[in-house]
Amino acid sequence: MGRRDYADRAAGTQLIYRDAGGLAADAYVYPTPRVAQGCAACADSLVNTEALDFVAAIPEFIRRGYFSSASGTQVERLDPAPGVAWLAGRHVAFSVMRDGKAGRADFYLFLLRGYRVKVRATYSDTPAAREQVRAFTEELLRILPANYVTTP
């Protein structure tokens, strides 16, 4: 639906997705220090640290009014299947209250060679909505490596 390229190239690009059914997801693509090829532990450590930093920031998100409360935070390690472009991933999920309504927030983080991809979505929690966010994230990871050029 939209794209925002930040003036500071290190901040990368924001991709804004909205659909007619109400799903709102933001994807961020930005450069990261290159991870040595074959260093799965290095890639995993980078995404784990960033995922835990995101969890630690939840109280700040509440203070800023993004939602009024959060609970049930879960951090899931995502391991790449053979042939995918990403090296390591995490999925952070938690329940939220926003505008007096219960919801869910998902934060996906993936490390590819030369850049990171984050997907953030907050929505009314239904199995269909969870599947839609997951499918959106998978499709983004499928098409992005062929279309996103990084500089060494």
Tell which wins on pLDDT, 131 or 2: 131
Q: Is 147 exposed, middle or buried (0-12, 13-18, 19+ CB in 10 A)?
A: exposed
How far from each other are the two terminal CA atoms of the chain, in whole angstroms?
A: 29
**Predicted structure pTM score:** 0.86
Domains of the chain in start order, with CATH, are: 2-147 (3.40.1000)
Position 112 scores a pLDDT of: 86
Task: Examine the pLDDT at 9 and tell me if it is beyond 70.
Answer: yes
Tell which wins on pLDDT, 72 or 15: 72
Give the whole-angstrom CA distance, residue 117 versus residue 120.
Answer: 10
| pLDDT tens sequence across 95-143 | 999 889 999 999 999 998 878 899 999 988 889 999 999 998 988 888 8
Quote the Cα angle for 64-65-70, to 5°: 105
* Closest to 35 measured CA to CA, from 78, 91, 92, 89: 89
Q: Is the distance from CB of 39 to CB of 126 less than 8 angstroms?
A: no
